[in-house]
Amino acid sequence: MNVLWLQSGGCGGCSMSLLCADTTDFQGHLRDGGVNLLWHPSLSMASGEEVIALLHSVLDGGTRLDALCVEGSLLRGPHGTGRFHMLAGTGLPMIHWVRELAAKAAHVLAVGSCAAWGGITAGGDNPTDACGLQYEDDRLGGLLGADFRSGSGLPVINIAGCPTHPSWVIDTLMALAADGFAADDLDPLNRPRFYADQLVHHGCTRNEYYEFKASAEKPSDLGCMMEHMGCKGTQVHADCNTRLWNGEGSCTRGGYACIACTEPGFQEPGHPFHETPKLAGIPIGLPTDMPKAWFVALASLSKSATPKRVKNNAVADHLVVKPAVRKTRLK
Amino acid sequence: MSRLLVGPFNRVEGDLEVSLDIADGRVTSAQVNATMYRGFEQILQGKAPHDALVYVPRICGICSVSQSVASARALADLGGIAMPANGQHATNLILATENLADHLTHFYLFFMPDFARPVYAAHPWHAEAVRRFAPDHGEQVRAATAARQRWLTLLGTLGGKWPHTQSVEPGGSTRAIDAAERVRLLAKVREFRGFLERQLFAAPLETVAALETEAALWDWHAQDPLGGDLRFFLTLVRDLQLDTLGPGPGRYLSYGAYAQPGGGWALPGGVWRTQTGEVEVLNPRVITEDATHAWLAHAREPLHPLHGITRPEPDKPGAYTWNKAPRLGGQVVETGAIARQLTSGMPLVRDAVARHGGTVYTRVLARLIELARVVPMMEDWLQAIRPTEAFCVPTTLPDEGSGVGLSEAARGSLGHWLVVRRGRIANYQIVAPTSWNFSPRDAAGTPGALEQALVDAPVREGEQTPVAVQHIVRSFDPCMVCTVH
Ligand code: SF4
Ligand code: SF4
């Protein structure tokens, strides 16, 4: 499978994350999976006129393009000209190249939340008029339009995340190379279901604290970060706490809140990221599948039943009360 | 005379275009264009100050932690926050992990592959260069990618994830390290040390760090000219005269790297001039940015970053890049590992720079020497962690005020300047390492460091993307996304 990778209005972090894929031989792993990188801005030999020649060869049909991966948002400004990102050496805006190349590709992949929705680059009042390939936040459209379908008939595949997890990208590419990817493998926002049908909350090491509403109050506390520290893990689609990062991490394991980086519009939550917005003392962002009254009732019940261990550890950065060791055999 | 427009450059972070005037097979003048603008400084306006810690890492995927550290330091300055010793050690470990990963990535994945190009096919070492450094197949490229992946697992524990680690706070680190984890992290540092000692240096780190003069370096090289990748590089330096290629301005800036709990720095900063061979104390008040040749609004005078403005003017006449021109007391300076090694008193780098100046050779040498020097420091910082003591103090920030955060990324000095009014960010200005190195001309028409370094670079018959230009550009380890933020 011939893969071309382009970067526009992002930070390159999705590529840097990709290189952290869990394998002892990254380059061999891709090759063995049937992935042939035609060009990647960080990984290929070709520079300058060699790259431009390759792009022309794709456009005039000389080189088959099976998958176009775009990392970074598409910068439409100023005034629709795309001049906020000109592809070096070509005198043409990157959005021009992306439009033309997407029309030739069997599959188009948005790698990361920038390319999927606009992402962090679309923050503030979006000075560069940044958008995603086929979405602008959660609205269909983006650079390529709501009706765009790649050669395979699929919409743009949104491997959202900021950065995106290396194995979300690798697994998607491998599945495409093996022809094992169909429309039902995408969720309603066109993210691969294998990771987007999970919640960040699943497998979080703070789950016991969550159950008892034993909450962290300051950075580095061990408690659940939903009540005070802005954690959105109960609502956010991703498997970060079961498919860990860099060997053994995740945001919540690193001591900071899930900021919903796989979700459209995460860059403008409407409140400071590290604070939970509340109404009458109750967090506004409750788990999507839980009625508010139930949550309130359960929370007050569980708070009254919180073991001392959980309560005290929640506001410390290491265990101050250890689980008791029972003298009798466990039953 | 002819003109050449060169780009896209790959194996640099972000998109870069260079336009060259060429006469008699040499570059006579260069203009460097950072071709993309995203507007982080605009996006940050009006945000809660602490939110900067979510936005700024996303300026750059290769040095996101460096951005976080500079920002956390600016917020700490704003709030008068001092972190506990554990927080300092954890922050240094996180930053050093990223910086050393950058050095490794730069050498193996970005810089060395150019020597596997067919243009060098006639050189006796070429087949070996292909075997080691061909992107995709090269043995050392693949081994280094694996070592990098293992190395960054340190950040899985220390920071939850990388890039865009959010565990770095003004008050320390949100991820406390327990005793068992500390031992495991030490084992990982030793694993990385093992890679460097077997593959890169073919010698103990301490042996490399103890080389004090160029004479000693070349003696060590002569013992085994192809043994390890540093010596292989030195072999190329001699053959291709990389010691004359890409001279820098002879003035070097470092803010000081890895703040120590008791005060001071593991690698003290300052300004180094080759002319005098002495470290001068840095005065950050004389830092300015000049936007004359950037597609950005400019004031009558170059502005200090605390008063800086960033407003795109895409139709501005005479402009050719999105990058402003930072100057130190009006002068062009170079920043990077070479500057850190000079200001922190590394004798070999001082000796080499005294003889050759800042060149492709000395820039890359300084980077590799830094790997040898900092890994043992990391072992010490891990030992110094006290697992039962605090890692972080809470952050309380005033509604009015300003803060400065100066730090060192792998590729040089990074500064954040922030002004807060009524509890919101009123101004946030960033001066990144590549903003210094790849700066355009200023109002006086003085070219930036790379623009100067490219003058005289050889251009072979028929070359569209001259290989010498590529070596020079990559020797700075540029990061274009940071440059223009
Ligand atoms: S999604 Fe995040 S990590 Fe990826 S390019 Fe955009 S800002 Fe960088
Ligand atoms: S910290 Fe977040 S993800 Fe973890 S248990 Fe609490 S709400 Fe769930």
Farthest-apart Cα atoms in chain A, separation = 77
Long-range CB contacts for residues A153-156, cutoff 8 Å, separation at least 24: A153/A183, A154/A107, A154/A181, A154/A183, A154/A186, A155/A186, A155/A190, A156/A108, A156/A109, A156/A110, A156/A116, A156/A132, A156/A190
Tell me if B428 sits within 8 A of B450, measured CB to CB: no
What confidence score (pLDDT) does residue A292 get? Answer: 85
Of B136, B165, B394, which has the smallest distance from its Cβ to A27's Cβ?
A: B136
Note whether B160 contacts A11, CB cutoff 8 Å. no
* Residue closest by Cα to atom 6 of ligand 2: A224
CA of A14 to the centre of ligand 1 (A): 6
How far from chain centre, in Å, is Cα B185?
A: 25
* Overall pTM > 0.90: yes
Tell me if A113 sits within 8 A of B33, measured CB to CB: no
Considering only residues 250 to 279 of chain A, which have any Cβ-Cβ distance to chain B shorter than 8 Å? 250-256, 259, 261, 272-274
- Residue B268: other Cβ atoms inside 10 A: 17
How far from chain centre, in Å, is Cα A171?
A: 14
Of B15, B116, B149, which has the smallest distance from its Cβ to A20's Cβ?
A: B149
Which residue's structure tokens are 């080691």?
A: B132
**Residue A161 Cα: closest atom of ligand 1:** 1
pLDDT band at A276 (very low <50, low <70, confident <90, very high): very high
Q: Poorest-confidence range of A280-294, B96-110, B286-300? A: A280-294
What confidence score (pLDDT) does residue B460 get? Answer: 95
- Minimum distance, in Å, between the CA of residue A294 and any CA atom of chain B: 32
Tell me if B162 sits within 8 A of B64, measured CB to CB: yes
Question: B228-257: per-residue pLDDT in tens?
Answer: 999 999 999 999 999 999 999 999 999 999
What confidence score (pLDDT) does residue A326 get? Answer: 79
Which phi and psi angles does A47 have, rounded to 5°? -135, 165
Q: Give dist(CA B17, CA A64) in Å, integer.
A: 27
What confidence score (pLDDT) does residue B212 get? Answer: 98
Q: Average pLDDT of chain B? A: 97
Q: Average pLDDT of chain A? A: 95
Closest residue on chain B to A9 (Cα): B38
Of B136, B169, B176, which has the smallest distance from its Cβ to A318's Cβ?
A: B176
Tell me if B18 sits within 8 A of B32, measured CB to CB: yes
- Minimum distance, in Å, between the CA of residue B135 and any CA atom of chain A: 6
Tell me if A276 sits within 8 A of A240, measured CB to CB: no
Q: Give dist(CA B341, CA B354) in Å, integer.
A: 13
Q: Give dist(CA B200, CA B197) in Å, integer.
A: 6
Which residue's structure tokens are 């949104």?
A: A158
Note whether A255 contacts B160, CB cutoff 8 Å. yes
What confidence score (pLDDT) does residue B1 get? Answer: 83
pLDDT band at B178 (very low <50, low <70, confident <90, very high): very high
The H or E element that residue B17 is part of is strand B16-23
Tell me if B38 sits within 8 A of A84, measured CB to CB: yes
For ligand 2, say whether the CB of A238 is within 6 Å of any of its atoms.
no
Please give the structure tokens belonging to residue A265: 């519009």
Q: Where are the alpha helices (DSSP H) in B395-440?
A: 433-437
Note whether A256 contacts B9, CB cutoff 8 Å. no
User: A328 pLDDT exceeds 80?
Assistant: no
The H or E element that residue B78 is part of is helix B64-79
Question: 3-state SS string over B85-129?
Answer: HHHHHHHHHHHHHHHHHHHHHHHHHHHHHHHHCHHHCCCCCHHHH
Tell me if B295 sits within 8 A of B321, measured CB to CB: yes
Mapping DSSP to helix (H, G, I), strand (E, B) and coil, where does residue B162 land? Answer: coil
CA of B303 to the centre of ligand 2 (A): 45
Closest residue on chain A to B465 (Cα): A48
Q: Span A287-302, mean pLDDT?
A: 86
For ligand 2, say whether the CB of A210 is within 6 Å of any of its atoms.
yes
CA of B161, nearest ligand number: 1
Q: Where are the alpha helices (DSSP H) in A108-261?
A: 113-117, 166-177, 193-196, 207-211
Instruction: Evaluate the CA torsion angle B237, B239, B244, B246 in order and state its sign.
Output: negative
- Residue A65: other Cβ atoms inside 10 A: 25
Of B45, B60, B153, which has the smallest distance from its Cβ to A11's Cβ?
A: B60
CA of A297 to the centre of ligand 2 (A): 19
Closest residue on chain A to B310 (Cα): A127
For ligand 2, say whether the CB of A201 is within 6 Å of any of its atoms.
yes
Interface test with B, best of A20, A26, A96, A232 (most B CBs within 10 A): A20
Question: B82-104: per-residue pLDDT in tens?
Answer: 999 999 999 999 999 999 999 99
pLDDT over 70, % of chain A: 99
CA of A210, nearest ligand number: 2
For ligand 2, say whether the CB of A224 is within 6 Å of any of its atoms.
yes
Residues of B within 8 A of A229 (CB-CB) are none
Residues of A within 8 A of B15 (CB-CB) are 7, 41, 85, 87-88
Question: B425-478: per-residue pLDDT in tens?
Answer: 999 999 999 999 999 999 999 999 999 999 999 999 999 999 999 999 999 999
Tell me if A283 sits within 8 A of A230, measured CB to CB: no
Which phi and psi angles does B142 have, rounded to 5°? -70, -40
Say if residue B462 is exposed, middle or buried (CB neighbours under 10 Å; 0-12, 13-18, 19+). exposed
User: B266 pLDDT exceeds 90?
Assistant: yes
What confidence score (pLDDT) does residue A330 get? Answer: 67
**Residue A16 Cα: closest atom of ligand 1:** 3
Q: Give dist(CA B393, CA B84) in Å, integer.
A: 7
User: A329 pLDDT exceeds 80?
Assistant: no
Q: Span B315-322, mean pLDDT?
A: 96
Q: Give dist(CA A258, CA A236) in Å, integer.
A: 8
pLDDT over 90, % of chain A: 90
For ligand 2, say whether the CB of A207 is within 6 Å of any of its atoms.
yes
Assess A89–B contact: CB distance below 8 Å, yes or no.
Answer: yes
- Minimum distance, in Å, between the CA of residue A325 and any CA atom of chain B: 20
CA of A10, nearest ligand number: 1
User: A331 pLDDT exceeds 70?
Assistant: no
What confidence score (pLDDT) does residue A57 get? Answer: 98
Cα dist. B389→A141, B98, B154, B342, B383 in Å?
52, 25, 21, 35, 14
What confidence score (pLDDT) does residue A327 get? Answer: 73
**Residue A10 Cα: closest atom of ligand 1:** 5
Assess A135–B contact: CB distance below 8 Å, yes or no.
Answer: no
The residue to mutate among A198, A202, A204, A212, having the most atoms of ligand 2 within 8 angstroms of its beta carbon, is A204
Residues of A within 8 A of B481 (CB-CB) are 10-12
Residues of A within 8 A of B14 (CB-CB) are 7, 12
Q: Span B25-48, mean pLDDT?
A: 97
Q: What is the ipTM of this complex?
A: 0.97
Note whether A28 contacts B464, CB cutoff 8 Å. no
Closest residue on chain B to A79 (Cα): B314
What confidence score (pLDDT) does residue B477 get? Answer: 94
Instruction: Evaluate the CA torsion angle B133, B134, B139, B142 in order and state its sign.
Output: positive
The residue to mutate among A16, A18, A117, A162, having the most atoms of ligand 1 within 8 angstroms of its beta carbon, is A162
The H or E element that residue B209 is part of is helix B205-209
Q: Give dist(CA A263, CA A266) in Å, integer.
A: 6
Say if residue B101 is exposed, middle or buried (CB neighbours under 10 Å; 0-12, 13-18, 19+). buried
Assess A39–B contact: CB distance below 8 Å, yes or no.
Answer: yes
User: B300 pLDDT exceeds 90?
Assistant: no
CA of A244 to the centre of ligand 2 (A): 15
